Amino acid sequence: MSHEERVTDAELGAESIKDLIESYNLIGGFMARNLYDASRVLASMYSDPDVTVILSFTANLVSTGLRGILRGLIERGLADVVITTAGTVDHDVAKSLGGVYFKGSFDTDDSELLSKGIHRIGNVFVRREHYGPLVEKAVHSTLSRINKDEVGVRELLWLMADELDDSSIIKASKRSCVPIYIPGFVDGAFGTAILTYNEIQRAKSGGRRINVNVLKDEEEIMNIVYSSKKLGAVIIGGGISKHHVIWWSQFKGGLDYVVYLTTATEWDGSLSGARPKEAISWGKVKPEAKSAFVLADATITVPILFNYITSEVGFRKRNTGVYPWNC
Amino acid sequence: MSHEERVTDAELGAESIKDLIESYNLIGGFMARNLYDASRVLASMYSDPDVTVILSFTANLVSTGLRGILRGLIERGLADVVITTAGTVDHDVAKSLGGVYFKGSFDTDDSELLSKGIHRIGNVFVRREHYGPLVEKAVHSTLSRINKDEVGVRELLWLMADELDDSSIIKASKRSCVPIYIPGFVDGAFGTAILTYNEIQRAKSGGRRINVNVLKDEEEIMNIVYSSKKLGAVIIGGGISKHHVIWWSQFKGGLDYVVYLTTATEWDGSLSGARPKEAISWGKVKPEAKSAFVLADATITVPILFNYITSEVGFRKRNTGVYPWNC
Amino acid sequence: MSHEERVTDAELGAESIKDLIESYNLIGGFMARNLYDASRVLASMYSDPDVTVILSFTANLVSTGLRGILRGLIERGLADVVITTAGTVDHDVAKSLGGVYFKGSFDTDDSELLSKGIHRIGNVFVRREHYGPLVEKAVHSTLSRINKDEVGVRELLWLMADELDDSSIIKASKRSCVPIYIPGFVDGAFGTAILTYNEIQRAKSGGRRINVNVLKDEEEIMNIVYSSKKLGAVIIGGGISKHHVIWWSQFKGGLDYVVYLTTATEWDGSLSGARPKEAISWGKVKPEAKSAFVLADATITVPILFNYITSEVGFRKRNTGVYPWNC
Amino acid sequence: MSHEERVTDAELGAESIKDLIESYNLIGGFMARNLYDASRVLASMYSDPDVTVILSFTANLVSTGLRGILRGLIERGLADVVITTAGTVDHDVAKSLGGVYFKGSFDTDDSELLSKGIHRIGNVFVRREHYGPLVEKAVHSTLSRINKDEVGVRELLWLMADELDDSSIIKASKRSCVPIYIPGFVDGAFGTAILTYNEIQRAKSGGRRINVNVLKDEEEIMNIVYSSKKLGAVIIGGGISKHHVIWWSQFKGGLDYVVYLTTATEWDGSLSGARPKEAISWGKVKPEAKSAFVLADATITVPILFNYITSEVGFRKRNTGVYPWNC
């Protein structure tokens, strides 16, 4: 303890987000500390020219206005790869095609919402016709433009990007050449729309079914991972989008930088709640990696961390040599 | 409040699990109440001859000895369909082929575990050589026996069942004719083994790649859902295995019975933490459904609920007419 | 890892609570493990003739039917000292004097409850007139019977016991000579009734105010702690009733046995969520203590653990020499 | 839903904490929404000249550098009354008398910390000699200066303030005439030091014991509550310091403004996790009150909310007519 670092009284009067981050450093305990540590991991990661940064998040966040910040991360070069869940496609497409999401409440009569045709995501509402039908239309339209038997999921999303407006994460992904992967792509309106397209084609004389092959995406991820000098990850939330990042990272010797932003707890042995240290035992995170985790709702922590990083880093110059295509 | 039901002092002296359930009824509050309610939903569901029961769980549970109880649910007819995550295949195959899992600790030096070749899942440990290599071997061996270009995931798992011992969930799934679906099948050793098999085939002269097509599984699920009179679900944990059950249920007007067993909280807007009532707004659970949720570690609650149900229901007679094949 | 203990598949078919505990042992992971470990700590503690067992719990539990089990612990000799919060007195007195608590719901219109005169404790309801007025009446009546200027809180409760029926925790405490302490006694209807009694006395000519002095209780606790050979604790929930147990235990070199049953998480630095290991750094728990913690709602875990212990231990013979009075 | 408010994409580029708050408004969902709502409740409360603001927090926060911000709230007039736990006195006194707290870790060997004489509070460390002995010395010294038989807790703290430096919450409380109440005052080094002082006096010929009477504090709180036109509260964390605020508020018809900042969950029926709506059923919060709650670590949310409020409100002019003394 000879090099101990003191906990110091923070004072009111912070005005900028940068000041706020510095207050968390002074506070020095509990999750304020972890949040500060996360800011340091991110600052290191984004100043390392050799790292491929994987951004992972769960779909529920895309139903909120955090969507704009997630898109901004792609546009500003703060992500080299995106891995997310099927619902991200659903919400992103719905919003891109005019779907309106509004502020609702957890404490509602959901039977009444059903009768009014309103879907609820926590305390966010969206009308039924602003959701599924918009996704189905975009997917069917995109598939009908395809002239081959098989596409990968990322490939399909980039084709679909042409139908979306500039608010879209998927469109930003294509425009910025940041591939987006959905390992569980069948699990939502997006996947069901692929299925129904093919069912319709099957029923039609001359119909042409298109196989959407997620193993093609896996090959792409494998190539990117192997082509990278170092790996870093920002993992927001748990589930398949979290696991897929760390799963693949093990084949490159583990992540060099990682930040987990989550509400899930560790004690239940869940993958979602597992800390970076568990991943070390698997070789998914390097023992010497810079890592941090913050237990808090990402709608609170992401704006703090990434507005801070944006002010520090600005637009990041990416290393586009890691992709199996030209950017 | 004219029909109010009283909270009543429970007394020590309960001996059987049935007595325990009755104590929870008397206790009448907090999660004891929800656990009792869950027992009632399950009892109703399993006495309804018209319901197709979908069992969903996350892979981490399969690393514990809960695996035996989950297999038991399949063997005793208490599940008609299983939906789970890729790790379930990994742990189940590993254990079936001699992989030993042992009691570890959350509070460990994970770098030391790494150097000893031990993977950690919460407070469960497994040696590296008892995990990935066993899965890869089983998958490669199974794929090499296949004489067609494309299989579904469930189909592949049932083929792989022949290589597994009787402790296996996958083997029980085949033997009992209870299909098992893995919508995010690429996300683990199972998926990577498929990929590496195909990479090897690609490199080999005369090699033959096999497409594993999850859309085939989706068609099967769709058929089962549409063929069912009613739907019920036991959903243990969150993530893609939870969502996939309720996602498909909406196309049949929603679940008639549902029990969520989870540790995830609602306030973060997560899918994992969403209560049955949120699913009502989507039409994923019927407004008049019998439903319950219990916030507690499933390793605690599943043995209570399903030993109780087993003692009440014994072996359930299933309606096998819902499958697109003969059982 | 040479003495590793395996995780083993548990099988359906457990009938008794004892079988259930054994299943948790087989399951071997996550909180099932901790619950099994807690059963072992309790079994050791209750077979040690030298230990003084402190039982601590929060008041909300007394609003449920867990009250009967908590009383049973006192009656069966499974607690030598009780430390709890002010609300325990309120709920216990209210129920002892005919207050009816009934099954309610978290999802209610609380404004409507207010207008109907119903108080809510989570999903438990109680009418206003079944609560505060009953407590005030019992406290005022008891105080009016006291012929001295000052009493301790435990002393006052034992005097009040005469007004309560046999369902009461407080009455069992007196009858079984198991002192009950309320370090934050002012924080509820009990405390306010003491205050209003004295206000009334002050206003009355010839009125006689009675000081209720919690420092007298502290002396008693100090004496019991110092007179004990060893200390053990069952700590249900967090807050002041948890902290007070471990606080005093440090003056005897720390607890020799301890089980925490809680829902509170560690990562926020809360006392309520702190694990037994944190208490070791303070000398509140001995480094070599037998300890366990279970993260789950106590309304679920307490009936499992203590019905099991009751079946194993029966009525425990207590060492009553630790009290500063004759029992 | 005719007046629906939209969820809107937030964009990167926020620089000030005020911008951050506005981003949370745009994000519009999950806890970002609640955090924004909390900022609005606070803004309303602090612009209402008729409200008495009660600030409540748990002691663990005082071990971190959040102590400076909590003191700042008192100094800037943002609290009219403070209600907290005994540990607040301990940490505040220790720090005021030179106790150094430093950044530690949750993942430590607590037996080793014990042997090094280091206490752990989550991820904060303090040496043993920087804690208990400093508190005991201050309390004994203060008590020895008192020339009467009985003092209230608040009174004792204000006397002790003379021994503390300007970093102290207790000193700020006295200087700013913001009474501080500790309903569970016996539960920590502060309470034990009172007890040992009296034990020493008892043993000494001519020793003079001093009764510390918390019922005197209760009378003060009662007077303040009854003298107030409206009541508002900022309640950080749970336990007795939370409950005591809402308990007293019911006697004035309930809080008019309230913000809960907590990590505790509702589903276990805990007081700590209960939402403002539960308090409505008790008359502790008015049905028409402006209220919000944020589920997140207070070390993260308090700096956001109160730096924002400080920038908006500056120094608040307090209504000092509510106290039973002159300020």
pLDDT tens, position by position, A206-232? 889 999 999 999 999 999 999 999 999
- Restricting to B residues 189-248, those with a Cβ less than 8 Å away from any Cβ of C are none
C-alpha of B104 from chain center: 23
pLDDT tens, position by position, A114-123? 999 999 999 9
What is the reported pLDDT for A314?
85
In this complex, is the C-beta atom of A36 within 8 Å of any C-beta atom belonging to chain D?
Answer: no
In this complex, is the C-beta atom of A30 within 8 Å of any C-beta atom belonging to chain C?
Answer: yes
Q: How many CB atoms lie within 10 A of CB A162?
A: 12
pLDDT tens, position by position, D179-196? 999 999 999 999 999 999
d(CA D304, CA D69): 11
- Name the residue among B212, B180, B171, B181 with its Cα closest to residue B195: B212
Contacts of A266 in chain B (CB under 8 A): 106, 122
H-state helical runs in chain B: 17-27, 30-46, 66-75, 86-96, 110-116, 132-144, 153-160, 169-175, 189-203, 214-227, 239-249, 276-281, 298-313
Alpha carbon of A268: minimum distance to chain B alpha carbons (Å): 6
User: ∠ at Cα B85 (A246, A297), nearest 5°?
Assistant: 60
Are β-strands B81-84 and B180-181 bridged in parallel, bridged antiparallel, or unpaired? parallel
In this complex, is the C-beta atom of B267 within 8 Å of any C-beta atom belonging to chain D?
Answer: yes
pLDDT tens, position by position, C168-198? 999 999 999 999 999 999 999 999 999 999 9
pLDDT tens, position by position, A34-60? 999 999 999 999 999 999 999 999 999
User: ∠ at Cα B85 (B82, B87), nearest 5°?
Assistant: 120
Task: Quickly state the pLDDT bin for A1 (edges 50, 70, 90).
Answer: very low
- Name the residue among A132, A164, A154 with its Cα closest to residue A212: A154
Which residues sit opposite C51 in a β-bridge?
C230
What is the reported pLDDT for C314?
85
- Is pLDDT of B2 > 70? no
Give buried/exposed letters for D85-122 (b at 16+ CB in 10 A, else e). bbbbbbbbbbbbbebebbbbebebebeebbeeebbbbb
In this complex, is the C-beta atom of B111 within 8 Å of any C-beta atom belonging to chain A?
Answer: yes
pLDDT tens, position by position, B137-172? 999 999 999 999 999 999 999 999 999 999 999 999
Contact A126, A101 (CB under 8 A): yes
d(CA A126, CA C256): 56
Asked if D284 is an active-site residue, the reply is yes
In this complex, is the C-beta atom of D112 within 8 Å of any C-beta atom belonging to chain B?
Answer: no
- Is pLDDT of C1 > 50? no
3-state secondary structure of D293: strand
d(CA C224, CA C215): 14
Active-site residue list of B: 284
Contacts of B104 in chain A (CB under 8 A): none
Verify whether the Cβ–Cβ distance B101 to C32 is below 8 Å. no
3-state secondary structure of D84: strand
Contacts of C268 in chain A (CB under 8 A): 30-31, 295
Please report, for residues D98, D125, D133, D233, the alpha-carbon distance to residue A8 in angstroms, rounded to integers and kept in the order given. Answer: 12, 12, 21, 26
What is the reported pLDDT for C162?
97
In this complex, is the C-beta atom of C112 within 8 Å of any C-beta atom belonging to chain A?
Answer: no
d(CA A294, CA C188): 36
Under DSSP, the state recorded for D278 is: H
How would you class D196 by CB atoms within 10 Å of its CB: exposed for 0-12, middle for 13-18, buried for 19 or more? middle
Verify whether the Cβ–Cβ distance C30 to A295 is below 8 Å. no
Mutate to test the interface with D, among B267, B275, B294, B297 (most CBs of D within 10 A): B267
What is the reported pLDDT for A3?
60
Q: How many CB atoms lie within 10 A of CB A147?
A: 6
Q: Which of C29, C265, C268 sits opposite A269 (nearest CB)?
A: C29
What is the reported pLDDT for D4?
80
3-state secondary structure of D223: helix
- In total, the C-beta contacts within 8 angstroms joining chain B to chain D are 22
Average pLDDT over residues D81-91: 98
3-state secondary structure of C131: coil
Catalytically annotated residue among A171, A230, A252, A284? A284
Under DSSP, the state recorded for B79 is: -
Alpha carbon of D58: minimum distance to chain A alpha carbons (Å): 13
Verify whether the Cβ–Cβ distance A11 to D103 is below 8 Å. no
- Is pLDDT of D2 > 50? no
- Name the residue among C93, D314, C308 with its Cα closest to residue B15: C308
- The CA-based dihedral angle spanning residues A184, A186, A190, A194, taken in that order and rounded to the nearest 10 degrees: 140
Alpha carbon of C36: minimum distance to chain A alpha carbons (Å): 15
Contact A131, A121 (CB under 8 A): no
Task: Quickly state the pLDDT bin for A283 (edges 50, 70, 90).
Answer: very high
Task: Quickly state the pLDDT bin for C3 (edges 50, 70, 90).
Answer: low
Q: Which helix (H) or strand (E) holds A294?
A: strand A285-295
- Is pLDDT of B118 > 60? yes
Alpha carbon of C73: minimum distance to chain B alpha carbons (Å): 8
Q: Which residue of C has its CA nearest to A264?
A: C265
Chain-wide mean pLDDT for chain A?
A: 97
Rounded to two decimals, the pTM is 0.97
Q: Which residue of C has its CA nearest to A34?
A: C267
Q: Which of A59, A187, A243 sits opposite B183 (nearest CB)?
A: A187
Average pLDDT over residues C45-51: 97
Q: Which of B5, B118, B121 sits opposite C103 (nearest CB)?
A: B5
Q: Which residue of B has its CA nearest to D269?
A: B30
d(CA B326, CA B95): 29
What is the reported pLDDT for C80?
98
The residue assigned the tokens 């001996």 is B15
- Crossing angle (nearest 10°) for helices C189-203 and C132-144: 50
Q: Which helix (H) or strand (E) holds B293?
A: strand B285-295
Average pLDDT over residues A158-182: 98
Q: Which of D29, D107, D269 sits opposite B29 (nearest CB)?
A: D269
What is the reported pLDDT for D314?
85
Residues above pLDDT 90, as percent of chain D: 96
Average pLDDT over residues B207-215: 96
Average pLDDT over residues B304-325: 94
Verify whether the Cβ–Cβ distance B110 to A277 is below 8 Å. yes
C280 CB-near residues (< 8 Å, 6+ apart): C254, C286, C287, C289, D110, D111, D113, D114
Give buried/exposed letters for C62-83 (b at 16+ CB in 10 A, else e). bbbbbbbbbbbbbbbbbbbbbb
- Name the residue among B149, B146, B148 with its Cα closest to residue B158: B146
Verify whether the Cβ–Cβ distance C270 to D120 is below 8 Å. no
Q: Which residue of C has its CA nearest to A107?
A: C107
Contacts of A15 in chain D (CB under 8 A): 16-17, 307, 311
Q: Which of A30, A107, A267 sits opposite C295 (nearest CB)?
A: A267
Chain-wide mean pLDDT for chain D?
A: 97
Average pLDDT over residues A174-201: 98
Active-site residue list of C: 284
Contacts of A11 in chain D (CB under 8 A): 68-69, 72
- Token couple for C11: 């099988």
- Is pLDDT of C2 > 50? no
What's the N-to-C CA distance of chain D in angstroms? 49
Contact D135, D90 (CB under 8 A): yes
Chain-wide mean pLDDT for chain C?
A: 97
pLDDT tens, position by position, B78-99? 999 999 999 999 999 999 999 9
pLDDT tens, position by position, C228-277? 999 999 999 999 999 999 999 999 999 999 999 999 999 999 999 999 99
Contacts of A301 in chain C (CB under 8 A): none
Task: Quickly state the pLDDT bin for B3 (edges 50, 70, 90).
Answer: low
What is the reported pLDDT for A72?
98
For chain A, give the number of residues: 327
Q: Which residue of A has its CA nearest to C293?
A: A267
Q: How many CB atoms lie within 10 A of CB D204?
A: 9
The residue assigned the tokens 């920002």 is A234
pLDDT tens, position by position, C60-97? 999 999 999 999 999 999 999 999 999 999 999 999 99
Alpha carbon of A142: minimum distance to chain B alpha carbons (Å): 18
Contact A203, A107 (CB under 8 A): no
Handedness of CA B89, B91, B96, B99 (dihedral sign): positive
Contact C81, C53 (CB under 8 A): yes
pLDDT tens, position by position, D137-157? 999 999 999 999 999 999 999
Task: Quickly state the pLDDT bin for A2 (edges 50, 70, 90).
Answer: very low
- Name the residue among B163, B133, B131 with its Cα closest to residue B146: B163
